[in-house]
Amino acid sequence: MREFTVPALATAPQAGGLADAVFDNADRDPRRPALSRKDASGVWRDVTAAEFRDQVLALAKGLLAEGVRFGDRIAIMSRTRYEWTLFDFALWSIGAQPVPIYPTSSAEQVRWMLHDAEVTAAVVEHEDHAMTVGSVVARLPRLKRLWQLDADAEGELSAAGAHLHDDVVHRHRLALTPDTPATVIYTSGTTGRPKGCVLTHGNFMAECDNIVRRYATVFTTKSGEQPATLLFLPLAHVFGRMVEVGAVRARVRLGHQPNLTATALLPDLEAFRPTFVLAVPYIFERIFHAARRRAEAEGRDGVFDKAVEVAVRYAEAVERKAFGTGPGPGPALRLQHWFFDRTVYSRLRAALGGRCRHAMSGGSAMDRRLGLFYDGAGIRVFEGYGLTESTAAATANPPERPRFGTVGVPIPGTTVHVSYDGEVWLRGGHVFAGYLNDPRSTGEVLRDGWLATGDLGSLDEDGYLTITGRKKDILITSGGKSLSPTLLEDRVRAHPLVDQCIVVGNDRPYVAALITLDEEAVHHWLTMRNKPRLGPAELVRDPDLEAEIRRSVVAANTLVSQAESIRTFRILGSRFTEEEGLLTPSLKLRRKAVEEAYAVEIEALYHG
């Protein structure tokens, strides 16, 4: 199949903007919790729809009082936190455009984005961010204001606008239309300089409203309890912003968590008790591996592994029944599943707060087996696919009939087309307006209403899309063999000891790989085998560890032909990090940067 369309479920609005939902929610049910905010003692406190509206209104008046005007672009540089959402909706209330900046951005990256977007004011999280902006402010003549969240920017601005009448904000808000630019989000830049994607209010409405309608089972609860989600994705990323907007429009209680480490995230998941979560595959992998390590430490690894097999087989049987190719789980399998649900799966769900039954995954590919395991364990993960240019998801697995290992079918209102060379093209109301100040790049990706994604994929007979790689990432060996490295990398990375894997081989005689280790997993592995703690140099030469990693490489090689397989690999003593510029903030490899940083090690793979 070359093309597949799913009709829209939500009617495109003819007027208004994203902030209207805040005021509509408060009018409709003022006492309903809209968000939850952690207090100084770490306790989650609900913020009602009326309270959030009043905070948005007060902050919007303060921004106007400080000189922010309709159409101005205002940078926000922070981790994911409550105030970011507050500033977003306050800025949208007066027709201003937030420009998100990753908190890990370098001074030169900050300078480029603030200059390119002609930013007139900036909101930063703390003093370090203020110093980063301050170091380049001399080259930003348009930048006139700087507010700091940790220095009570919210209170300062709310006080500054207290003398203004509410109608001043409402006049700005009523001037908005769906075609008005809502934000400029800069691509994470795996190659080249980041480009600013101009997304309109209508783009977010088309994206979020259709997803909320299609996934009604996710955004409601059978018990009648209010649905809730904890947002821990970066709000500088389009996925996080889609979650933020969708939660407000769907009246889902929203919380924020800025720290993605397991020690910080898991306690908040247990305390907040979300009914669904949205994350990248890396998070689901870490949760699974942490559960496996805990079971091994308790001497229950055999039970856990058996439970995994049962969950996978159970989910596969359910999947086959949904597609009419099987009868579903048999009596013996149902009995095994019931047993492990009480002894193993319930503990996994408890780690996510106990109420979570659905999740959405995007940003990169999820291993089919991992998706099947979660489904069998009682948490259905809907894998999807999208870009900043498509306002996040363009496809997603349907709630009643997921096909694990694919990224699903087009979301309502979307058409997916696979071109003659395998490139995925998208069309729909969520496709962006173009790149800021860059008509040439815009023309390269927007073609007669179609977005050329640069991703390679295929559509099956039911309209499910499988992503097979990036056009720019295709490797061609010196023998003329071309391959996409993604499939190999994802399978190697599925091993619990592996953190990242990069496959190399362009213009080389064969394919090779650099592999980094998950420090926490390695520490557990050493402990369980009574091995001493080793330094990085000794660790990467440990024969038992090398044998473990070799198994992951052998498993990956079973997916490809011999000419495409990894012939040799090297374990590195340090991880690829965002701070070193080797990963994007969404944890994608910056291939060129990695290859330059590890040029000596790569050369040794071929001439060592």
Q: In whole angstroms, what is the distance from residue 373 CA to residue 70 CA?
A: 49
Q: What pLDDT score was predicted for residue 608?
A: 67
Residue 459, pLDDT above cutoff 70: yes
140 vs 191 pLDDT, higher one: 140
- Encode 138-176: b = buried (16+ Cβ within 10 Å), e = exposed: eebeebeebbbbeeebbeebbebbeebeeeebeebbeeb
Residue 31, pLDDT above cutoff 60: yes
Q: Does domain 279-471 have CATH number 2.30.38.10?
A: yes
Among 308, 298, 379, which residue's Cα sits nearest to residue 337?
A: 308
Residue 49, pLDDT above cutoff 90: yes
Cβ atoms of 31 and 51 closer than 8 Å? no
Cβ atoms of 489 and 481 closer than 8 Å? no
Q: Does domain 474-607 have CATH number 3.30.300.30?
A: yes
Side chain identity, residue 308: V
**Average pLDDT along the chain:** 93
Q: How far is CA 139 from CA 148, 164, 341, 362, in A?
A: 20, 33, 59, 37
Cα three-residue angle 32-251-35, rounded to 5 degrees? 60
Q: Provide the 3-class DSSP secondary structure of residue 201.
A: helix
Q: Mean pLDDT lowest for which of 302-306, 534-538, 561-565? A: 534-538
Q: What are the two backbone dihedrals, phi and then psi, of residue 183, each rounded to the nearest 5 degrees?
A: -160, 160
CATH class of 18-176+226-274: alpha beta
Residue 579 exposed, middle or buried by CB count within 10 Å (0-12, 13-18, 19+): exposed
What are the start and end residues of each CATH 3.40.50.12780 domain in the chain? 18-176+226-274
Q: What pLDDT score was predicted for residue 346?
A: 95
Q: In whole angstroms, what is the distance from residue 123 CA to residue 545 CA?
A: 46
Q: What pLDDT score was predicted for residue 457?
A: 94
Per the structure block, which two tokens stand in for 211?
Answer: 């997803």
Q: What pLDDT score was predicted for residue 422?
A: 93
Q: What pLDDT score was predicted for residue 189?
A: 55
Q: What pLDDT score was predicted for residue 154?
A: 97
What are the start and end residues of each CATH 3.30.300.30 domain in the chain? 474-607
Q: Mean pLDDT lowest for which of 105-109, 230-234, 375-379? A: 105-109
- pLDDT tens digits along 162-186: 999 999 999 999 999 999 999 999 9
pTM of the shown model: 0.89
Alpha-carbon Rg for the chain in angstroms:
24
Report the share of the chain in percent with pLDDT over 90. 78
What is the rounded average pLDDT of the residues 584-594?
83
Q: Mean pLDDT lowest for which of 91-95, 191-195, 263-267? A: 191-195
For 198-323, where are the alpha helices, taking DSSP H only? 201-214, 238-250, 262-272, 281-297, 301-322
Q: In whole angstroms, what is the distance from residue 305 CA to residue 295 CA?
A: 9
Q: What pLDDT score was predicted for residue 215?
A: 95
Q: What pLDDT score was predicted for residue 147?
A: 98
Residue 594, pLDDT above cutoff 80: yes
Q: How far is CA 452 from CA 169, 310, 347, 445, 530, in A?
A: 38, 41, 43, 5, 53
- Encode 511-535: b = buried (16+ Cβ within 10 Å), e = exposed: bbbbbbbbebbbebbbeeeeeeeee
In sequence order, which residues have a C-beta less than 8 Å from that of residue 464 and are 6 or more positions away?
A: 397, 403, 406, 407, 408, 409
Cα three-residue angle 252-253-256, rounded to 5 degrees? 120
Helices vs. strands in the chain: H and E counts, helices first: 22, 27
Q: What pLDDT score was predicted for residue 552?
A: 94
Per the structure block, which two tokens stand in for 188?
Answer: 């994470």
Query: What stretch of H or E contains 154?
Result: helix 153-160
Q: What pLDDT score was predicted for residue 192?
A: 59
Cβ atoms of 45 and 39 closer than 8 Å? yes
- pLDDT tens digits along 525-553: 999 988 888 888 888 889 999 999 999 99
Report the share of the chain in percent with pLDDT over 70. 99
What are the start and end residues of each CATH 2.30.38.10 domain in the chain? 279-471
The one-character DSSP state at 589 is B
Please tell me which of 129-138, 253-262, 344-353 the model is most confident about, judged by mean pLDDT.
Answer: 129-138
- pLDDT tens digits along 189-242: 545 578 999 999 999 999 999 999 999 999 887 777 899 999 999 999 999 999
What is the rounded average pLDDT of the residues 367-381?
96
- pLDDT tens digits along 388-426: 999 999 999 999 999 999 999 999 999 999 999 999 999
Q: What pLDDT score was predicted for residue 34?
A: 97
Q: What pLDDT score was predicted for residue 561?
A: 87
Q: In whole angstroms, what is the distance from residue 608 CA to residue 602 CA?
A: 9
Strands 475-476 and 465-470, sheet pairing: unpaired
What is the rounded average pLDDT of the residues 337-351?
94
Per the structure block, which two tokens stand in for 385?
Answer: 């696919």
Q: How far is CA 58 from CA 52, 165, 407, in A?
A: 10, 10, 41
Query: What stretch of H or E contains 498?
Result: strand 498-504
